[in-house]
Structure 1
Amino acid sequence: NDACVVDFRATLRSSTCPLLIDVRPRSQFLMCRLPDSRNVPLSELPGQLDDLRRSLVHPETPLMVVCRRGNDSQRALTLLLDAGFTNAWDLIGGLDGWRSECDPSFPLY
């Protein structure tokens, strides 16, 4: 399941706002992040699956994963789908895509 950054931006204002998981290392997350995102580094994701399930308001709440360019988030998406998260999505282009398509003021690093 893939979502483009423009479509994702629209969901931020909707009642079906996804739980946004940033899978970058904590040091990168602290440099810049999307509002209301939660940092779960890819290396820690397998051990956080039960906690993520408990974080969802409803089992059908969308779960969106993001990284800098979209590579690690693709790996995270595969892990989530394999673990039974049926409404998990990858933000295509990652934060670089967010900057180029939605918010040119978003910091680069």
Structure 2
Amino acid sequence: MIDHVRPALLTDWFAQAAVEGQPLVLDVREPWELQTASVRTDGFELVAIPMGELPGRLSELDPSRPLACLCHHGVRSLHVAVFLDQQGFETLANITGGIDAWSRERDTSVPRY
């Protein structure tokens, strides 16, 4: 199952998911997007793997670890979450609204683009 979590409520999701391990945010945006706007880690680990590289780098991720997917607006990250669900990942969330919503709801210092 894939949870849909707004950035403003992500801390609550992390707290619930932490029972299964330290939460991980998987940022699936392109390198130029990461240079434009990135999140600061706060109670979670951040790993950046562009969506197109994920199938070849899947072994870098632990399927038993809680994982929340992030992109620009939430569409790419939802596709990635569905893919990871099909690969047997156990605890997944899509960060609804992506980094754009993150900037509005969680950390206004993150530039919008």
TM bin, normalised by shorter chain, reads: 0.7 to 0.9
Give the aligned partner of residue 73 of structure 1: 77
Q: Is 1:4 aligned to residue 6 of structure 2? A: yes
Alignment of 1:12-31 (within 5 A): 16=18, 17-31=22-36
Asked if the contact 2:17–2:66 (Cα under 8 Å) also holds between the matched residues in 1, the reply is no
Give the aligned partner of residue 93 of structure 1: 97
The structural deviation recorded for 1:14 is 8.3
Give the aligned partner of residue 60 of structure 2: 51
The structural deviation recorded for 1:35 is 2.0
Aligned length: 104
- Show structure 1 runs of 5+ residues with no match: none
Whole-angstrom distance in 1 between the partners of 2:14 and 2:111: 20
Whole-angstrom distance in 2 between the partners of 1:38 and 1:51: 10
One-letter amino acid of the counterpart of residue 35, structure 1: R
- Show structure 2 runs of 5+ residues with no match: none
Which deviations, in whole Å up to 9, do the C-alpha atoms of 1:9-62 show, x marking residues without a partner?
345678824111100011111222112421100000111111112xx7xx2x21
One-letter amino acid of the counterpart of residue 37, structure 2: C
Q: Is 1:41 aligned to residue 32 of structure 2? A: no
* Identity of matched residues, %: 28
Asked if the contact 1:77–1:88 (Cα under 8 Å) also holds between the matched residues in 2, the reply is yes
Q: What is the RMSD of the two structures over their aligned residues, measured on CA atoms?
A: 2.0
Asked if the contact 1:11–1:18 (Cα under 8 Å) also holds between the matched residues in 2, the reply is no
TM-score relative to the length of structure 1: 0.83
The structural deviation recorded for 1:70 is 0.4
